[in-house]
Amino acid sequence: MTEKNLKFIDLFAGIGGFHIALEKLGHECVFASEKRVNLAELYEKNFEIEVNRDITKIEVSEIPSFDILCAGFPCQPFSKAGKQDGLQDERNGSLFDKIVDILEFHKPKYFILENVRNLISHDNENTWFYIKEQLENKLGYKIDKKIYSPHNFGIPQHRERLFIIGSSDGLDHFEWLETTNKTTSIFEFLDEKPVNARKLEEEKIEVIDIWQEFISKIPLKHKLPGFPIWSMEFGATYPFEEKTPYASSSIALGKTKGNFGTELKGISRPEKFKNLPSYAQTEENEFPSWKKNYIRKNRAFYEKYKDVLEPIVNKIENLKIASWQKLEWNVQGGERDLYKYIIQFRGSGVRIKKTDFFPSLVTVSTQIPIISWEKRYITPSEGARIQSLNGIDLPENIGTCFSALGNAVNGTIVRLIAEKLIEKKPKTIKLNGKSKVMNGHKINSNKTSELDYERIE
């Protein structure tokens, strides 16, 4: 049976993913913090509770007593997309220690923390060892961790996140949720012809049309590349195997070609570098193997199909943004029609995804997923539905809205975890083929008959 009417606090609350999940289970929020003013004001409007702006300036004694601490503490120090400074991050790294201070003072029964999966491996796992040391050895909680994604629970989105749970009473009663991986169609999450949808810009439609023309040039009997297509390598001959352009002399570099076969002869060294792909301008003596591999494969691909691709490559070269000159075809074996897929304009290129999963909602507002067959972006309500956060007001600004949704914890996953963590149902384990209840006791499993099992303190 799940404990009812517990009190929880919501730290780094964002738009309230934890709040929605815990409130559905009958629990009451008694304190919330969110530093971003626009999100704090929206939280107050949605949940009718005062939001404290800066948790670092709050004395822990000022926080009301509570039973559950919830925190999706800032992930930038650990994210692959950030600098990965971890707990040394000047702005956000110390926020975990604030969580520890609050737990130490109030001693709540439970906590649920959420962060990026990269936190576990950050700094050769030293970050995780520190977190574990603080929560278990210093504070005395029994903790556990698990990586979950919405697609594990029927939601068509890949978005892996780390969940850390803790209980002062131990975790003998707790079992992580079994995953199904049977996802609902994304079409059940889409609005039908939404009138408020943001239409796709004409210049991006042109980009899609150009890449559509590009892939149509490849014979159907040949597979499209499984590696990212970097069109700026088409015609390029600058050095990349043994040494980089940075490690090459200006004279040697002048004998090669840069972006789209641009001659590098007769121009200054700075001008030479301006005519190289951005990823080839790095100040390093040798490229990593993955970069060499992509360059090598792209040049070989172009040489193979040069005769049919050359006319369309000129159009790609004229695209004004370098990332638009890259294509990530993630629908290998699928129909070669870009207008049947989900599309994202990412920093790494124009990404084409199957319609069985939504791409992760990221905090970069320029990467909002595109419903290509309707030539529109997904709507805020669709994004909220994917995050299991429907029913609340969202930021009016589109960029702010999707940044908030990208930062938010998935409401369904939190609700399911909290339900298991807080319930008092004994955990059942299997020993020698027999199911025995373990409820805070060790079980002597050196017997083969169910009647021979003994519980010992």
436 or 51, greater pLDDT: 51
Q: What integer pLDDT is reported at residue 90 of this predicted model? A: 52
What does the pLDDT average to over 265-292?
97
Q: Under a CB-based contact definition with an 8 Å cutoff, are residues 309 and 216 in contact?
A: no
Amino acid (one-letter) located at 390: N
pLDDT for the residue numbered 185: 82
pLDDT band per the 50, 70, 90 thresholds, residue 184: confident
Give the pLDDT confidence of 73-129 residue by residue, as tens digits.
885 444 444 454 445 545 444 899 999 999 999 999 999 999 999 999 988 999 999
CA angle 419, 119, 145 (to 5 degrees): 30
**Contact indicator for 250, 271 with CB cutoff of 8 Å:** no
What pLDDT score does 94 carry? 81
State how far Cα 362 lies from the chain centre.
6
Residue 273 pLDDT exceeds 90: yes
Whole-number Å distance between alpha carbons of 395 and 267:
49
What does the block give as tokens for 163? 């969940």
Band (pLDDT 50/70/90 cuts) for residue 182 is confident
Residues catalogued as catalytic: 75
82 and 76 in contact (C-beta within 8 Å)? yes
Tell me: pLDDT of 347 over 80.
yes
pLDDT for residue 265 is more than 90: yes
Burial of 424 per CB tally in 10 Å (0-12, 13-18, 19+) = exposed
Distance from C-alpha of 32 to C-alpha of 63, rounded to nearest angstrom: 9
Q: What percent of the chain has pLDDT over 90?
A: 75
Which domains can be identified in the chain, with CATH numbers? 7-185+407-425 (3.40.50.150), 198-377 (no CATH), 427-457 (no CATH)
Please tell me the predicted confidence (pLDDT) of residue 365. 61
pLDDT score of 447: 44
The pairs formed by 54-63 with CB atoms below 8 angstroms and a separation of 24 or more are: 55/11, 55/12, 55/95, 55/98, 56/94, 56/95, 56/98, 58/33, 60/101, 60/102, 60/105, 60/106, 61/105, 63/9, 63/31, 63/102, 63/105, 63/106
In which band, very low, low, confident or very high, does the pLDDT at 140 lie, cut at 50, 70 and 90? Answer: very high
* Mean model confidence pLDDT for the chain: 89
The burial of 159, by beta-carbon neighbours within 10 Å (0-12 exposed, 13-18 middle, 19 or more buried), is given as buried
What is the pLDDT, as a whole number, of residue 35?
Answer: 94
Pairing between strand 7-11 and 229-230?
unpaired
Dig out the tokens for 30 from the structure.
């008694």
4: exposed, middle or buried (Cβ count in 10 Å: 0-12, 13-18, 19+): exposed
Q: Which H or E run contains 18?
A: helix 17-24
* Mean pLDDT, rounded, for 230-248: 97
Would you state the pLDDT for residue 432?
56
pLDDT at 10 over 60: yes
The mean pLDDT value for 194-220 works out to 96
Mean of pLDDT values over 124-145: 95
